[in-house]
Amino acid sequence: MTGLIIHRGTNEIGGSAVEIYNKETKLLFDFGIPLDSALRNYYSLEEYKLPIKGLYKNEEPEFSAVFLTHAHPDHFGLMGLLNPKIPIYVNKITYDILTKINPLLPNRDDEDLNLKIINDEVNIGNINIKSYNVDHSISGACAHEIQIDNKVIVYSGDLRFHGRAFWQSSNLKRKVKNPDYLIMEGTTLGRSEQNIVKETDLEEEFVKLFKSDKFPIVEFSAQNLDRFITIYRACLRTGKIFVIDPYTCYVLEVYSQISKSIPQFNWNNIMVYFANNGISEKLAETKKLYTYKSKKISVEEIVDNPQKYVIKGNGIIDEKIFNRIHKDKINIIFSMWKGYLDRPSRFDSYKDIITILHTSGHAYINDLQKFVKEMKPKNLIPIHTEYKEKYRELFNTNIIELQDGQDFVLFPER
């Protein structure tokens, strides 16, 4: 028997965990922590543990491998609970994010990880797993094609078609046709704004804001390379110098393997503010920090001529600037999921000067419809959505709505 259990993700965005198994082999795809954890100051991984046998430390492993689609916590966040005997397959970029970048961050120090790099495809038992890069708000995102008992299952992970790497998602629908099952994310299904905003559209908006006389502090994730490039290009077009932190310099360095056209700290119109935080300390321990010295700038230099600069925000520099420049003259450009503003943060007394400028890491409905139409899956299974019942109206194929933990038979006995 070949089966599928979505342990979490049939009714929520994030916390995904998908088991696919046959008689001989059990595999898990993604092992994420629910998004509500991002709104809490303290939690333990144990609180989010799922009742899955043979997966955790101190028990006999029943799983042959875990595959991660990308390095967002709602897809990998529980891997610290895994039995280190079980290999975790990721692509090279995700491997580098998990092993080089994330250890710099607080609470992200997963030890004992049995990570392995998947080069395009791998066979585990009699199951073949291929990995396809897709466009998402973090580099290294991929979808998986799983060939099991002569049938094909595609798991989309998170994807979109409006970022700078949109062509990667388009490649997936060209290369994989008529799978028996497509397990597809539907993050945006409940959203009313469905006008497609591309990264290139955002660039125009940044240019407009950078031309205004308000001093811009941009809050965004350094791991979101598309956004970095968008803001950097807007800086070049407006003659501004982009002041980034050592963490961002390091992320760019790790991403430099993707292409030679990825900006680095020593490029034109980039300066570095040495934020005095835990990340800089860790970068100093390895001497990495000092390699950015040639581009160092102080807060004094910035506030003396604020019209010259665009700041990549972080807790340290934001506070120093708030103390030196009057609030009325600052524009905080929030370029992340706006849900983060719902939790207590350093922005609480600055909500009146925040401009939200963001585009989703997830495909809009229109693009998902085109995706399904071209790939033509025989069956479509909703995941990573709060609106699985909408799949029936939106997609013209057989829809299988599952519940978390439901053991669903994909194919009866071979």
Chain positions contacting Zn ion, by CB under 5 A: 72, 158
Residues 159-181: b if buried by 16+ CB within 10 A, e if exposed? bbbbbebbebbbebbeebeebbb
Note whether 330 and 215 are within 8 A (CB).
yes
* 3-class DSSP assignment, residue 96: helix
Distance in Å, CB of 163 to Zn ion, minimum: 12
Strand order in the sheet with 26-31: 115-117, 88-90, 65-67, 26-31, 17-21, 2-8, 407-411
Q: Choose between 141 and 249: whose C-beta lies nearer to Zn ion.
A: 141
Q: What span, in angstroms and rounded, lies between the C-alpha atoms of 102 and 146?
A: 28
Q: Choose between 78 and 330: whose C-beta lies nearer to Zn ion.
A: 78
Distance in Å, CB of 299 to Zn ion, minimum: 33
Q: Choose between 110 and 158: whose C-beta lies nearer to Zn ion.
A: 158
HSE-up (13 A, CA, CB side) for residue 372: 25
The secondary structure of residue 56, as a DSSP letter, is B
Distance in Å, CB of 38 to Zn ion, minimum: 12
Distance in Å, CB of 229 to Zn ion, minimum: 18
Note whether 262 and 232 are within 8 A (CB).
no
**Neighbouring residues of 144: CB distance < 8 A, sequence distance ≥ 6:** 29, 67, 69, 129, 130, 131, 132, 154, 155, 157
- In the block, tokens 């693009």 appear at 367
Distance in Å, CB of 136 to Zn ion, minimum: 6
Distance in Å, CB of 226 to Zn ion, minimum: 13
Distance in Å, CB of 65 to Zn ion, minimum: 21
- CA dihedral of residues 256, 257, 261, 267 (deg, nearest 10): 20
Note whether 118 and 130 are within 8 A (CB).
no
- Give the β-pairing of 142-148 and 151-155: antiparallel
CA 231 to the chain's CA centroid: 18
Q: Choose between 19 and 158: whose C-beta lies nearer to Zn ion.
A: 158
Distance in Å, CB of 361 to Zn ion, minimum: 6
